[in-house]
Amino acid sequence: MVAGYYYNITFVQLGLIDLGTRLVGMSETVVSMWMGALAVCTLLVALATGVAMDRRGWSTDLRTKLRILFGVVLLQFLLTLVAPTIRTTPAFGAWIVGASIGLGVGFPVSFSLAIDLVPVPDRGIVAAAITAIAYFGANAYPLEWSIDVFSGLMLAAMLPGLLILGAIASGRIDPIEGLLDELSGQYHEFGTGRFCRPTSVRTKSLAFAVPLVLMFGVFFVDSLGFLRIIDTPALLLSSWQSPELSTRLLIAGAHVAGAVMAGVIYVNFSLERIFLWTFALFALTHVIYTSDLRMAEFFPTLADPGSSPLNPMLYAVAVSFYTTLNFALWPDLATAETIGTHAAIGVGVAGWLATFSSTALALYFQAADLTLLSHLNVVQALSLLLVFGLAVGLYGRRMAAAAREGRPT
Amino acid sequence: MNPTEAIPLLIVVLLLVSIGGGEVERMDVTFAGDHDVEAIDDVHVVAGGTTTVPSNASVAGDVYLIGGSIEVHGTVEGDLTVLAGNLTVGSAGTVTGTVEQYGGAVSIAEGATIDDLVQFDVPVASNTPARQAAALLLQFLALGLVGVVLVRRRPSLLENVGDAIVGHPLVSGVVGSLAAVTLLVLFVYMAFTIVLIPVSIVGLIAEGLIVVYGQVAIGYLVGHRLPIGRGDLATVAGIGVLVLFLEVLGVLPVIGAVVQLALVVVGFGAVVNTYFGLARFEPASIPSGASP
């Protein structure tokens, strides 16, 4: 999961922009449209995969899932190998289709491994560990955001994983087979998620739809804001792409702290509480970003380099919060029979569709020549609306419950 | 001084400018670098770097110094307020208004012309053992008083907070650090809107009170491990031990500060998680094993 997520946040999200703009020669707008296409294709492939997994019983068959995963990693290895050689738009488009098949098949399968490998009470902590390691690696290690650099690193990192998965998938190594025999029955114990007791959460129910909408909101807000932040050299060079190791380490440390906090809160509090914290952190982060920009507008000398790392650190904490939640939530909203569909809809709609929509909106903002402050103002408004909406929703639910209790019989 | 560090003093300047009838919209701020100023737009704030009024220049407006340095060799037609940083008025320098010093350093050369110099002596805490002991005693008395009142009137409050500290230190620490930091940032940024300064002040005081409450609860826990029968006396004694312990920790360079901070955030989180002691903190129960 760590490797997969690291691949996603570095190679797919950042490497593709470099590949499209620098090597293929497309404009940033065209690359963003291709990335939107990648998101939609991934969602469609994921939905088909998730439904097929549940209907055909692959969700509860550990060996089948590992074989599919081997195929996915092999495909991604080949795609990563050829990526730096792409020079034409049709080749870039073909690469996008291939990548969306890999991602779309890969993430429902990898999320479904939780029912075989992670006990329900440990999911918050395991999700926190995945988030912390992936983000720490992505932020602390000073990589240039170019497809060649990402490709080289990914190939080196994927090769051992590919060999191990190949050995597991072959079914010919006795000690591994023994271990798989032991693990393959664990879904009976780990399969029913935290929020599926005593009754399982149905796909067409509010209990599934509400977290889905909230996660869509948080992915959308994050993506919409971050797209503009990484497009602003002054903000980027003083944070995620800072030449100072100490700044990057501070951000990486904030990611780890945020993940640990989210893990602890996920395990000890209700789902509403962690959603409230996530939205509150995002709202606060964007309030600070926009306040700083207003201040800079007011006092132009503020635009001096050497600004405080507080903003990206708080941003990192908020991102780690929802990423941890994303890893733990979908398996916990599913049973062994629904994990494929729920993970596909959850990650697909909340993650990929939100990314697609926010990219489209960001492009519209770009075409409308929206200033940085105006852009982040929209993001701030959305994040404040999410906090307020959730708080009102929770209060309304309690009010309704109180009214039901007080109703004369 | 970077913008984030300058924010608290900038807020003070904004308040002073607003009170003085100045135009906040026409305020310039210098954060870094060396600058020669020959004209200012109503109000000029120096937060970093070195700003010089050259000998042949005459600037009309008020100048505020909150960091860095100002060297006046020409004429400032207005007031000059020093909150922090270094002000030097050269022998040929002139300030037609008042030089007000609240902090920082002011050096006025012989021959310099200033209308008036007002120096507000900010009391500097001296580190004599007697003063330290008095401060410690005052802290102990204040916390002890709160502890006694709570133990006598609503002992369940401290009991609930204490249980959260002992039973769930990690959750208390996480919630405490998260809540304390986010609220602090929120209140500081609220203050910067000027309109919300009263809310910001109330919020910061409330945060301080939560810290105090948490410390009283830790003192209560310590007291109940001492061989003292009466609850209120035990609490006071526990608070005394805690205050002394915190003082000793202050002497240790890094570890001391880390432990002090940990005690503060754990206490803070326990207070928040128990709704100020009104309810016991019960973590969510996560079912495990096969579903029935």
Q: Is the dihedral of CA A96, A101, A107, A110 positive or negative?
A: negative
For residue B148, is pLDDT > 80?
yes
For residues B226-234, give the mean pLDDT.
Answer: 88
Q: Is B84 exposed, middle or buried (0-12, 13-18, 19+ CB in 10 A)?
A: middle
Q: How many CB pairs under 8 A join A and B?
A: 84
Residue by residue, DSSP assigns A381-392 as HHHHHHHHHHHH
Helices (H) and strands (E) in chain A, counts: 18, 0
pLDDT score recorded for residue A346: 93
Q: Are strands B50-53 and B86-89 parallel, antiparallel or unpaired?
A: unpaired
For residue B164, is pLDDT > 80?
yes
Determine contact: B184 vs chain A, CB below 8 A: no
Query: CA of B140, closest CA in chain A: separation in Å?
Result: 33
pLDDT score recorded for residue B215: 95
Over chain A (409 residues), the average pLDDT of each successive run of 10 is 71 78 85 86 94 93 93 91 90 91 92 92 94 87 76 86 88 86 89 89 92 91 82 75 82 94 93 87 84 69 58 89 92 94 93 83 80 84 85 82 68
Going by the DSSP 8-state scheme, the letter that residue A120 receives in this structure is G
Q: What are the backbone dihedrals phi and psi of residue A161, each rounded to the nearest 5 degrees, phi first?
A: -65, -40
**Where would I find the beta strands (DSSP E) of B49-202?**
50-53, 58-65, 69-72, 75-77, 80-82, 86-89, 94-101, 105-108, 113-119
Q: Residue A345, SS3? A: helix
pLDDT score recorded for residue B268: 96
Q: Which of A316, A263, A270 is nearest to A127 (CA)?
A: A263
Chain B residues in contact with A277 by the CB 8 A cut-off are 178
Q: Which residues are registered as beta bridge partners of B30?
A: B46
Two tokens at B58?
């005459």
Query: CA of B152, closest CA in chain A: separation in Å?
Result: 32
For residues B20-49, give the mean pLDDT.
Answer: 79
Looking at the partner chain, which of B3, B177, B291 has a beta carbon nearest the beta carbon of A307?
B3
pLDDT score recorded for residue A409: 46
Query: CA of A152, closest CA in chain B: separation in Å?
Result: 38
Looking at the partner chain, which of A121, A265, A307 has a beta carbon nearest the beta carbon of B286?
A121
Tell me if ipTM is over 0.90. no
Q: Which residue of chain A is at minimal alpha-carbon distance from B45? A: A299
pLDDT score recorded for residue B231: 83
Q: Are strands B86-89 and B69-72 parallel, antiparallel or unpaired?
A: parallel
First to last CA, chain A: 52
Q: For residue A338, how far is the Cα from the chain centroid?
A: 20
The model's pLDDT over B97-134, given as tens digits with 9 standing for 90+, comes to 889 888 888 888 888 888 888 887 766 556 788 888 88
pLDDT score recorded for residue B292: 58
Looking at the partner chain, which of B178, B192, B283 has a beta carbon nearest the beta carbon of A291?
B192
Query: CA of B47, closest CA in chain A: separation in Å?
Result: 10
For residue B6, is pLDDT > 70?
no
Q: Which residues are registered as beta bridge partners of B58?
A: B75
Cβ distance B170 to A197 less than 8 Å, yes or no, reads no
Cβ distance A267 to B5 less than 8 Å, yes or no, reads no
CB B255 within 8 Å of CB B160: no
Burial code (b: 16+ CB inside 10 Å, e: under 16) for A37-73 equals: bbbbbbbebbbebbbbbbeeebbbbbbbbbbbbbbbb
Helical ranges in A118-270 per DSSP H: 123-140, 147-170, 174-183, 187-190, 206-229, 233-237, 245-268
Comparing A56-60, A245-249, B26-30, B70-74, which segment has the lowest mean pLDDT?
B26-30
pLDDT score recorded for residue B243: 93
For residues B87-99, give the mean pLDDT.
Answer: 90
Cβ distance B286 to A270 less than 8 Å, yes or no, reads no
Q: Which residue of chain A is at minimal alpha-carbon distance from B176? A: A261
pLDDT score recorded for residue A197: 85
Looking at the partner chain, which of B30, B284, B288 has a beta carbon nearest the beta carbon of A119?
B288
Q: Which residue of chain B is at minimal alpha-carbon distance from A121? A: B286
**Where would I find the beta strands (DSSP E) of B3-112?**
27-30, 34-36, 42-46, 50-53, 58-65, 69-72, 75-77, 80-82, 86-89, 94-101, 105-108
pLDDT score recorded for residue B122: 61
pLDDT score recorded for residue A300: 58
pLDDT score recorded for residue B66: 87
